[in-house]
Structure 1
Amino acid sequence: MGRFASVSDLTTRALRGGAALATGGVLEGAARFGRNIVLARLLAPEHFGLMAIVLAASQLFEAFTDVGVRHCVVQNRRGETPEFLNAAWWFSAVRGLLLFAVGFFAAPALAWFYDDPRLTDLLRVALVSVVLAGLVSPRLYVLQKQMRMAGYVAIMQGSAVTGIGITLALAVWMPNVWALVFGFVAEAAIRTGLSLGVYPIRLRLSLDGESARDLWAFARGMAGLAILTFAMEKAEIFVIGKVCTSEVLGAYALAIALADVPLTVFSRIVQPLILPAFSGLQSDAARLRSAVLRSTGLVLRFGLPLAACALILGRPILAVVYRPPYDEMALPFGLACAYRVLTMVGVIIASLYLALGRPGLHRAFTLFRGVLILIVIYPAVVWFGPTGAVLGLLVTQVIALGYQAARMRQLIGLALTRYLACLGPAIGPTATVALAAAAIHWLWAPGDVVQVAFGMAVCGLAWAYTAWRLHGGSVRSRETAAVEPVVVHS
């Protein structure tokens, strides 16, 4: 009975947490979507290109010393104790200050590499956000660990929406790249201030030995993981910025930002629940297998139809949401949508590795794919421009996912054929959306707004069909569960 009560409690917390994350994630996603629509009409593509380089460089500095404090607090059994939280805060704070110091003196080198002196001051100001991020209260991660997501959402999404408002106000006042940089730093400052004000921790100069050892051991397991992840996610920004113009990079960055909307919603709503949910099931391989298959199937069944629509209707979508010349990035945008779906699938497997306390496995996968990307990304951009960049990312992700999936048999006994079967239910809705979008785009060819509205309607119908099928399967499962005890004990 204790086991079933535990499962019921986990499910209840997951549902409540999911509802809170859904509310906050949708609000933040809508705000960022609206912000980009407005900014595309206030700022030139060059400004987005400069900001893309600044953000990528800032994330590169962070990646070099990412010690995985958030993941460790969630995964560690002592992560909620005051001693552990004190050690976690000091780890993050010292790291943030060191990163700022290194980045401050390295900024001129970045400006020299891109032959743009403006990047020196832009990067130095943006790196203030790294210091602020290191000061965030680790009690936020305890909320994630316990799946008490209301407070987590209020701070994370609340600071994001406020930062978006500040960015828009600044863009009206000074329509240049500095509006983006100051808005970025303001969002980090609000998040840190709220976290420490609402969820303060008792700081001590002395560190608990066991907590420090646990953090250090987890950090060693994560060593190099963030820089490899960065190579997978942002390498094309540096290459496009070097090979192409700032205007091309800016148009690409804004198109990719639109493709990132589903991934952003996923990372805000679903991803924070996956690691604690998997961690709670780590001693039950059968239920862990079921959770991996169910979450992967949901991502594919809802994500692939949307990617098919974006791949075919990319030009009218970008023309309606933004304006020319952003619609020139239609093909990279469509490929990026497909790539983001596969990225979400990869996040599920990565969360499995971390939940089992095996970050080394995730690092091995990331190293494998990072090497692939470093091999293909530069020639791909030189030969095919932004389209080559996304195509290279997509191909390497497919190869790396096959490598990941094969390893799950050793971890939780999940056969590759059973895992690949998750793709089956997504094929029908995806093919239907693709055929309908192709018909209206190439046969009928009405105005852009009509094409986008039609694509949204077809995707909505595909999702409704999937939801109906899932509901029917859930009902059948409950009916089977209700009859099963009678059959077993007869």
Structure 2
Amino acid sequence: MRGIGLTDKQKIVSAAAWSIGAGLLGRGVGLVGTLLIARHLSPGIVAEVTVATIIALTGNWISAWGCGQYVIVRGGEGREAIFAASVFYLVFGLMVIAGLWWMAPTLAAWFDTPRLAEYLPGALIGIGIRRLGAIPDKLLARELRFARIALATALGDVAYALVAVTLVSTTQLGGQAMIFGFIAQSCVIAAITIAGTGWRSWLTPVIVSAARFRDIFRFGAPITGEITLSEGARYWDKPLVLRLLGAENAGAYGMAFNLAQLPAIYVGGHIGTVMMPAIVRAQPTDRAPLIVRALGLTAVVLFPMAFGLSVCAPTLVAALLPPEWSQVAPLLSVLAAVSVLAPASFMLASFLGALGENGTALRIELLTVLVLVGALVLLSRWGVVAASFAVGIALVAQLALSIAACRRHGLSLHGLGTPLLRVTAACMVMVAGVLLLRAMMSDWQGAPVLGLVCEIALGAALYPAALAFLGNDLLKDVLRLLSGTGKAELQRTLVASPGVQND
């Protein structure tokens, strides 16, 4: 099989820049919107809306049944494969959405939150709209058209912020304003992805054999379990916290989690998502170096962002959120610090997926969820801050299991040890400097906004200075990745793998 040309590699590199840049822009706007919404809604209402959305998302994960991945992997087999996967996906999704809609009162009673039944139907409508754009999204990914995918996601985040903030500040809709924002977000994402492929490319009717549907069912079973558990490990703690500790604590926990995920998901996650096609296309001997290089590039950018967010949490919350959200500060300090582990687990899961180890990935995700649930139940007796450490415990377990599984396939991470220690040491210098400044200024009494600006500025100066002292080569890596669009570093990462193949 012929290797992909430089043009395809350049598309992947460009996609990484687009994905990271657009993702950060969209998430930044969404984050501002979330903070503005918090000025109008109590933590309890936000928690109920969040749990309604998570229930709808869970139904979406279960009913996806790996159809998107099927389109990427088997789409080259012709229109029958794409159309069959599309029909399977849409029909199964409609059935699950209808079932959850019917169960709304029962779920509200179990969580002891009556308003949940009011929010869930709107969340399900948003999921239904988003499903219309899901297969086109995978067709775009198959064609390496990641720029449109990134644009859709970013503009969707902007739409959510604009609609939700406008409605919550000018009407009496309360939590429903967030639901309308979610629906608007889904409409924008679906419209942009569908416009990129058209309807005929995936919904033109063709005769489908029973064998094709059986193939989709077999193909999707392990993928569905793995994705559902993977996403569940990120989201199911919020409903559990609601059940264990009440709506107010769950709202603060959810806000802290969303803030903490900015570095982990929208830097490491975007790099991992764009790297997945390269990993799938690579020769087996090239996949391990590709993952190791991606982990290294992620760490030098992600670690200072995560630890910086953790140390600045008290000042940030005081500056940006109303007093009733003060509980977010200690939760954010914990969750931001442990979030550095998430992208590594995501990339290692991509590595296992590229090797066809879906069963192994499924078992790892199942054990991760069990650890998360068990730790949450155990630690919740000491309050919500103690319970937040459950996320870190689950991530450590997931990473350890993933490393062990990947090692059996020749993936060695020993080369990362020294760079990670240097990056971590530089981050600790940054953290110590910020804490010393805050202590000298008596916690910025009366001037939290000024304090936040000063802490960010000091951290931004200390981290590269510490890196320059501890390892000038790492500082050069950071500067290369941040200069321009970061293409130079990612070009080196991808071009180093000459054995990449076409599907």
- Report how far residue 208 of structure 1 moved: 5.5
Q: What TM-score do you get using the length of structure 1 for normalisation?
A: 0.87
CA distance in 1, matches of 2:215, 2:354: 15
Q: 3-state DSSP class of the match of 1:127? A: helix
Cα deviation, 1:379-419, whole Å, max 9, x if unaligned, reads 2122232x2232011012112211211221212x1235345
CA distance in 2, matches of 1:364, 1:422: 30
Match of 2:292? 293
Which range moves more in the overlay, 65-74 or 317-326? 65-74
Cα deviation, 1:325-362, whole Å, max 9, x if unaligned, reads 32322221011112322111111111112222222121
Q: 3-state DSSP class of the match of 2:133? A: coil
Q: Which runs of 5+ in 2 are unaligned?
A: 468-473, 482-487, 496-503
Matching of residues 151-230 of structure 1 within 5 Å:
151-175=148-172, 176-202=174-200, 203=203, 204=205, 206-207=207-208, 212-230=213-231
Aligned match of 1:27 in 25, 28, 36? 25
The answer as to whether partners of 2:15 and 2:147 remain within 8 angstroms in 1 is yes
The answer as to whether partners of 2:56 and 2:124 remain within 8 angstroms in 1 is yes
Check 1:378–1:157 CA distance in 2 against 1; reply closer, same or farther (3 A cut): same
Identity of aligned residues (%): 20
Check 1:362–1:455 CA distance in 2 against 1; reply closer, same or farther (3 A cut): farther
- Report how far residue 467 of structure 1 moved: 4.8
CA distance in 2, matches of 1:93, 1:221: 19
The answer as to whether partners of 2:292 and 2:413 remain within 8 angstroms in 1 is no
The answer as to whether partners of 2:51 and 2:238 remain within 8 angstroms in 1 is yes
Q: 3-state DSSP class of the match of 1:451? A: helix
CA distance in 2, matches of 1:267, 1:313: 20
Check 1:209–1:430 CA distance in 2 against 1; reply closer, same or farther (3 A cut): farther
CA distance in 1, matches of 2:151, 2:478: 30
CA distance in 2, matches of 1:171, 1:91: 37
Aligned match of 2:37 in 28, 36, 39? 39
Check 1:402–1:198 CA distance in 2 against 1; reply closer, same or farther (3 A cut): closer
Match of 2:353? 354
- Report how far residue 112 of structure 1 moved: 0.8
- Report how far residue 171 of structure 1 moved: 1.3
Cα deviation, 1:129-162, whole Å, max 9, x if unaligned, reads 2322332252321222332222223333223322
Aligned match of 1:468 in 469, 476, 490? 476
- Report how far residue 276 of structure 1 moved: 0.5
Match of 2:138? 141
Check 1:215–1:313 CA distance in 2 against 1; reply closer, same or farther (3 A cut): same
1:83 aligns with 2:80: yes
Check 1:297–1:327 CA distance in 2 against 1; reply closer, same or farther (3 A cut): farther
Match of 1:104? 101
Q: 3-state DSSP class of the match of 1:65? A: helix
Q: 3-state DSSP class of the match of 2:322? A: coil
- 2:258 partner letter: A
Aligned match of 1:68 in 60, 66, 69? 66
Q: 3-state DSSP class of the match of 1:103? A: helix
Q: 3-state DSSP class of the match of 1:325? A: helix
CA distance in 1, matches of 2:346, 2:134: 25
- 2:101 partner letter: F
1:323 aligns with 2:341: no
Query: Number of aligned pairs?
Result: 471
Q: What TM-score do you get using the length of structure 2 for normalisation?
A: 0.85
CA distance in 2, matches of 1:307, 1:137: 30
The answer as to whether partners of 2:129 and 2:186 remain within 8 angstroms in 1 is yes
- 2:343 partner letter: M
CA distance in 1, matches of 2:2, 2:189: 38
Aligned match of 1:125 in 122, 126, 131? 122
CA distance in 2, matches of 1:215, 1:428: 48
Which range moves more in the overlay, 418-427 or 34-43? 418-427
